[in-house]
């Protein structure tokens, strides 16, 4: 990992962006991104995700506060810092009339890469993103999947230490999306990444940290586990097999346990809600023992819902309800 | 020291001027390929050829002497406003035409705003002034041979230099307005209002003050070689200073602007 020794890759302090005194896009955002983190940037439309990314890249100047990348303050002329960043905007557009080879060569020259380093790198990337047959064709004829692959190649041409990808799976079909997620997992082993996404299952799959923005305000920043920890954990579904009477009897016994809040049976599927006061493993052990005693077989057991999505919606919902309270505890949730 | 210590990987080699030349070269190509540029060249060539052939016919067939210097001046007056309109549109679209994620994909790389602005300004200046210089040279040469040859070399060079200096000022301010305006349409509207408004207002000024109409009228005598080189140098210097001032405003303003 080529991050600065013991330093944060990205650090912001009270970062605020107000457009023309009319729109508060980002409000007092303070966070740090450690080397090796894969940060999922979440939030509804207009939450300030793209504004945050543009401030990190130095495409926008902050109205107040500051943003440092690799220990250096970001501003529109910080070209040397941007040499260490690979960026993919949402719906990447390309200069007209260029082929992938010309475009990547242009990108390499924009990073100041000499011919000796640029040419072999672009050839390797075109092969890696599977655009070899189309390498001489105009980009304007490309499908969204091919365009996304080319944008990936462009973001990697300078061998960056930090990757900033704004909705990288946006508009991709299932196969292309899967390929993109696998690529992110591979790159995450050696790079620090910031991924802005609306797709929470993508974030759940590839990220280890999350930052949640709502109306320009950072309402959560921490590990994905911490985010999931903010929701009720003890909610399970158990698919059962066995005699109907035995199943009904065991459900009655489970309902009788004081640690069980509710136990509902529907078509041999038991929905179980446990209290938060005790260890879930102990209660589940008792439930399994009850099932065993009644000769009921357990087919599957799973935690209810998509936890990241639930946690995210919980957070946004709570933030909406806080009203004036958020004025007095601005960093309470984000800590 | 351990002899088996692995050598550190070579540091990546960066040429700090490459980003500037990358944008410069790409913009040269894009400008020449743009339909506005091609239309401007086409309109100028058609006007020059049509007018020249018409006067050539009168000169040869009817036998009325047609002065090359006079008709070059008339041609310049006729296509001058059209040229200014096209040149300012091309200059203004240099930066403002590359907005959104196209600009993102360039400015998010290893290029500073200063380099980007300078590359755009230099590329547009080179293409537009180069094209104008070639057109002017061709027209002056052709009219010299087709009509009454009263244009001197010195006069032709002096007139072309002043026109190039005026265009350089228009291009510099056009690129600057394009870089600082929030949209191409609003930018070109404001720029044309300022440019043609200034020409219109200046044409009302009395004799000692500069008037574009009088300047174009005087072009005839300049082409004949009746000019003061110091005055020509002063005029060219004035417009070049205006161009540099425009570029400086754009350079500072664009380096602080959100894209």
Identify whether A187 is part of a domain: yes
pLDDT in tens, chain A (335 residues): 444 545 899 999 999 999 988 899 999 999 999 999 999 999 888 889 999 999 999 999 999 999 999 999 999 999 999 999 999 988 888 877 889 999 999 999 999 999 999 999 999 999 988 899 999 999 988 888 888 889 999 999 999 999 999 988 887 888 888 888 888 999 998 899 999 988 888 888 899 999 999 889 998 899 888 887 765 567 888 999 988 889 989 999 998 888 888 888 888 889 888 887 777 888 889 999 999 999 999 998 887 755 677 777 777 777 777 666 666 654 444 44
CATH of the domain at A56: 3.40.50.300
* Residue A318 within any structural domain of the chain: no
Domain assignment present for residue A39? The answer is yes
Question: How far does the CA of residue A8 sit from the closest CA of chain B (Å)?
Answer: 20
pLDDT of residue B10: 52
**Same domain for A206 and A185:** yes
Same-domain pairing of A33 and A108: yes
Instruction: Give the mutation candidate from B25, B105, B251, B253 for the A interface (greatest A CB count, under 10 A).
Output: B105
Task: Give yes or no: residues A123 and A200 share one domain.
Answer: yes
* Average pLDDT, integer, range B103-111: 88
Does residue A55 sit in the same domain as residue A198?
yes
Q: Say if residue B185 is exposed, middle or buried (CB neighbours under 10 Å; 0-12, 13-18, 19+).
A: exposed
Q: Are residue A220 and residue A106 in the same domain, yes or no?
A: yes
Among residues A211, A228, A245, the one where a domain terminates is: A228
Distance CA(B89)–CA(A176), nearest Å, equals 41
What number is the ipTM of this complex? 0.83
Q: Using CA atoms, how far apart are residues A34 and A192, in angstroms rounded to an integer?
A: 8
Range of A35's domain? Answer: 10-228
- Whether A335 is in a domain gets the answer no
Predicted confidence (pLDDT) at residue B80 exceeds the cutoff of 60: yes
pLDDT of residue A331: 47
Find out whether B75 and B139 touch, Cβ atoms under 8 Å: yes
What pLDDT shows up at residue B50? 92
Specify whether A91 is located in the same domain as A140. yes
Under the banding of pLDDT at 50, 70 and 90, the label for residue B221 is confident
Helix axes of B153-180 and B229-254: crossing angle, nearest 10 degrees: 20
**Tell me, what's the pLDDT at A1?**
46
* pLDDT given for residue A332 in this prediction: 43
Every domain of chain B and the residues it spans? 18-254
In percent, the amount of chain B with pLDDT more than 70 equals 95
Q: Which tokens hold the place of B169?
A: 């000022």
pLDDT value of residue A3 = 45
Per-residue model confidence (pLDDT) at position A329: 54
A92, A154, A158 ranked by CB distance to B110: nearest: A158
- Which has the higher per-residue pLDDT, B99 or B235? B235
Read off the CATH number of the domain in which A257 is found.
3.30.70.100
Q: Of A177, A206, A228, which residue constitutes the final position of a domain?
A: A228
The pLDDT score that the predictor gives to residue B5 is: 45
- Tell me whether residue A319 is in a domain: no
Tell me how many domains chain A contains: 2
Residues A255, A282 share a domain? yes
User: Comparing C-alpha atoms, which of B118, B107, B236, B223 is closest to residue A77?
Assistant: B107
Residue A69 sits in the same domain as residue A177: yes
Among A201-215, B22-36, B199-213, B215-229, the range of highest mean pLDDT:
B22-36
Backbone angles phi and psi of A75, in degrees to 5: -155, 170
Six-digit token pair at B170?
A: 């228009």
Cβ–Cβ of B14/A97 closer than 8 Å?
no
| B129/chain A closest Cα distance in angstroms | 24
Cβ contact, residue pair B258, A109, below 8 Å? no
A239 and A210 part of one domain: no
Q: Residues A131, A183: one domain?
A: yes
Question: Which residue in A59, A95, A106 is closest to B107 by CB distance?
Answer: A59
Regarding whether A293 and A144 lie in a shared domain, the answer is no
A200 and A250 both lie in a single domain: no
């Amino acid at each position: 990992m080529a991050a600065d020794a013991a330093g944060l890759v990205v650090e912001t302090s009270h970062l605020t962006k107000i457009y023309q005194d009319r729109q508060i896009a980002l409000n007092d955002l303070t966070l740090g991104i450690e080397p090796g983190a894969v940060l999922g940037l979440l939030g509804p439309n207009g939450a300030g995700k793209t504004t945050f990314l543009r401030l990190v890249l130095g495409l926008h100047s902050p109205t107040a506060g500051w943003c440092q990348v690799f220990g250096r303050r970001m501003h529109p002329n910080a070209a040397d810092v941007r040499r260490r960043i690979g960026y993919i905007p949402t719906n990447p557009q390309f200069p007209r009339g260029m082929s992938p080879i010309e475009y990547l060569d242009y990108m390499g020259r924009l990073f100041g890469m000499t011919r000796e380093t640029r040419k072999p790198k672009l050839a390797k990337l075109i092969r890696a993103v599977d655009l070899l047959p189309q390498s001489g064709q105009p980009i304007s004829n490309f499908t969204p999947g091919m365009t996304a692959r080319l944008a990936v190649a462009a973001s990697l041409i300078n061998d960056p230490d930090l990757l900033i990808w704004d909705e990288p799976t946006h508009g991709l079909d299932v196969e292309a999306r899967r390929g993109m997620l696998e690529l992110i997992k591979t790159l995450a082993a050696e790079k620090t990444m910031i991924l802005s996404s609306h797709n929470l299952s993508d974030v759940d799959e590839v990220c280890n940290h999350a930052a949640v923005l709502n109306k320009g305000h950072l309402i959560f920043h921490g590990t994905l586990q911490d985010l999931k920890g903010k929701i009720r954990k003890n909610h399970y579904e158990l698919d059962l097999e066995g005699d109907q009477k035995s199943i009904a009897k065991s459900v009655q016994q489970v309902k009788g346990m004081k640690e069980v809040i509710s136990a509902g049976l529907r078509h041999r599927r038991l929905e179980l809600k446990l209290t938060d006061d005790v260890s879930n493993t102990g209660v589940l052990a008792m439930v399994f023992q009850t099932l065993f005693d009644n000769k009921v077989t357990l087919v599957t057991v799973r935690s209810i819902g998509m936890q990241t999505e639930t946690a995210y919606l919980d957070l946004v919902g709570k933030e909406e309800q806080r009203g004036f309270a958020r004025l007095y505890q601005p960093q309470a949730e984000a800590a | 020291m351990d002899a088996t210590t692995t050598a550190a990987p070579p540091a990546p080699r960066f040429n700090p001027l490459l980003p500037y030349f990358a944008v410069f070269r790409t913009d040269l190509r894009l400008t020449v390929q743009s339909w506005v540029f091609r239309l401007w060249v086409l309109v100028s060539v058609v006007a020059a050829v049509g007018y020249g052939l018409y006067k050539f016919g009168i000169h040869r067939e009817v036998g009325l002497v047609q002065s090359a210097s006079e008709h070059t001046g008339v041609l310049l007056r006729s296509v001058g406003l059209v040229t200014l309109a096209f040149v300012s549109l091309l200059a203004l679209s240099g930066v403002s035409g590359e907005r959104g994620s196209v600009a993102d994909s360039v400015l998010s790389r290893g290029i500073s705003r200063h380099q980007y602005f300078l590359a755009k300004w230099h590329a547009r200046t080179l293409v537009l002034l180069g094209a104008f210089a070639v057109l002017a040279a061709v027209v002056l040469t052709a009219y010299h041979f087709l009509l009454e040859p009263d244009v001197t070399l010195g006069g032709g060079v002096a007139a072309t230099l002043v026109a190039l200096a005026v265009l350089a000022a228009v291009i510099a301010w056009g690129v600057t307005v394009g870089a600082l305006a929030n949209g191409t349409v609003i930018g070109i509207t404001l720029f044309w209002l300022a440019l043609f408004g200034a020409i219109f207002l200046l044409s009302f000024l009395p004799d000692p003050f500069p008037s574009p109409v009088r300047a174009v009228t005087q072009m005839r005598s300049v082409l004949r070689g009746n000019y003061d080189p110091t005055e020509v140098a002063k005029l060219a210097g004035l417009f070049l200073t205006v161009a540099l001032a425009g570029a400086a405003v754009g350079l500072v303003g664009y380096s602080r602007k959100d894209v």
